[in-house]
Structure 1
Amino acid sequence: MITTKGYAAQSPESDLAEWQFERREVGPYDVQFDILFCGVCHSDLHQIHNDWFPGIFPMVPGHEIVGRVAKIGDKVTKFKVGDLAGTGCMVDSCRTCDNCKEGLEQYCEQGNIQTYNGRNKYTDGAPTYGGYSNTIVVNEDFVLRISDKLSLAATAPLLCAGITTYSPLRHWKVGKGHKLAVLGLGGLGHMAVKFGVAFGAEVTVLSTSPNKEADAKKLGAHHFVVTKDPAQIQQAVGTFDFILDTVSAPHDMNMYLSLLKMNGVHICVGAPSEAHQISAFALIGGRKSVAGSGIGGIAETQEMLDFCTEHQIVSDIELIDIKNIHQAYERMEKGDVRYRFVIDMATL
């Protein structure tokens, strides 16, 4: 076994603290890479607090992971020692169901294996541990190629925030001629703006915070609507083809559905801990749809990373020392980050 240093929550009530644990030895098809940077996702906080479902503790969060390959198995063909590598939200799937065969491992019918807070089939169901640690071992099919042409720290959030917004925009073929509204300008929302603009859509940011307008325009958004202003909301009624909803706090979806055109689609990628309450009349009047989207499959995630390399797209980040993780969580809950915290794992 590989002795590993990380930060873990021992229970939903405890703070993260240093914790030593063991990872499996590198198997024939495995890649071990030393972690250089790990993004901080709002879902890390949700999971260590049991907001969505009971977690597996001790829990080592982190699923926006980039690093450098330290060791490979003797059957590995996709990576060599010294390569840059990354892992996102999942480390395996059944590989055999229809969804997996179509490259949609995120929707594995057996349930994909999460990077942390999951159960690892390689170690008889032992817990998986994430990227708040110094090294990780992953099957090569779930390791991603990372470019040296972009900032490594700013690339890390692409592995969740990036693909979570890229995938639905690609699935619904959002692009030139479409009016896209991005609801919420946080870790997910700022990436949605960048991708929407890159794909050629006319992008509007919907936000409760007037002070984010300058940032939205700097990111490339064409318009900005303050959702607390009834006059601005009234002017926006019936104007959007798509709303990409990145908000993970409770909010009234019915009001936002009124902003869609005929046949408009409201796509949920944020995951509030409370259920949405949607009126049938908010949908019937304009044959509108509410949809959801997870991350992306491995092939699509690599496509996204390659697209970002070509177009020089990365996350806007604040690099932190791991000892400051709780301060980062507190600020993240207040929306006080522009726009993603990333841990420098050299500080572990």
Structure 2
Amino acid sequence: MSLSLLFKVQKILRPILLPVSKGYGAAMARRERKYVHGEYERFRPACPCISVGNIGSGGSGKTPLADWLLKWAEREGLKTVLLTRGYGAKPARLPYPVNGFSPVDEAGDEPLMLANANPQAKIIVDPVRKRSGAWAMGEFKPDLMLLDDGFQHMAVERDLDFVLLTPDDFTSGWNQVIPCGTWRESVLGMQRADVFFVKSGPRAFTQMRSLIKQRLAEFGRPVFQFELCAKGLKLLGGGERLGFGSDKYLLFAGIGKPEILREDAVEYMGRKPEEFMIFKDHHAYTAQDVELIRKKAAAMGVKKIICTPKDAIKLTKLGCEDFYVIDLEVEFTESIFFDRTEEAPFNSWWNKQILTDAYSK
């Protein structure tokens, strides 16, 4: 079901869903209090720990931001471990360290992407992250630990909570808790955030600046805009980055919020896709899927079949070397501070001292 259709259904059923939504939000608040008061066991890493998570679900850019942090840590000479549940993964053992040779069905698509892009880091899959965290501390003795999708995973203590939002979270999605909306907890949970990120273009962020300030001023935390900028195309079979061109193309994706990808692709390619095939998030592609994609492309006479890096990682053994993947890079531009700090993009503001100060508190 597309997000737009989901929103329509939620709006129609809101009178029925609202009591459930309020109950869910209250249950999450009680759970948080139990962790805070020590009623639930927590694991404390013996190094700085950053959680990269969100208040809603899907499409907020957690994996690209985690990738950026892993690369920053490497430049700073920090040995880093990233803990992830590995959505959809079926690891042979737990905890499961991922490397570039791990089968995608064992590792999961996003952990394998991160491992391929950051061979110096340790990517560990385990739904019980206090277990994998303790194991990784003993095994690798890291200088930094990252929690992927960790905002609601309070069993591991962290020094900084990076909370990612999308433009929808500030408008129709604001404080709309499951099942009325996509939020995993109510707005009260935002008090735990240390840094906010908004995944949008700089122009959209500027247009929303007053609304963002209105929504987030009470928390007093810095807010940074970031976006995934497409730099070109690459063949799945390897090779140099290529220009987009203006050829007819078929686009397909199994990601959260695919509608945003379609809009972006139109901008990149200068034209609409002849076909946009949407698969469920984290879809496990099969030979039959590839055959269907190829048949549709041939029927429409398209010259390029294009997907995202998240899709590409699952297609490497299905004979898709001639498919194209969008080559993306994270870029930071705008920011909002609620104190006298001079506004600067995240990559200019962020440094090792901020991490050290948070750890020493």
TM-score tier by shorter-chain length is: 0.3 to 0.5
Q: Which structure has more helix as a fraction of its residues?
A: 2
Give the alignment's TM-score, normalised by structure 2.
0.34
Give the alignment's TM-score, normalised by structure 1.
0.35
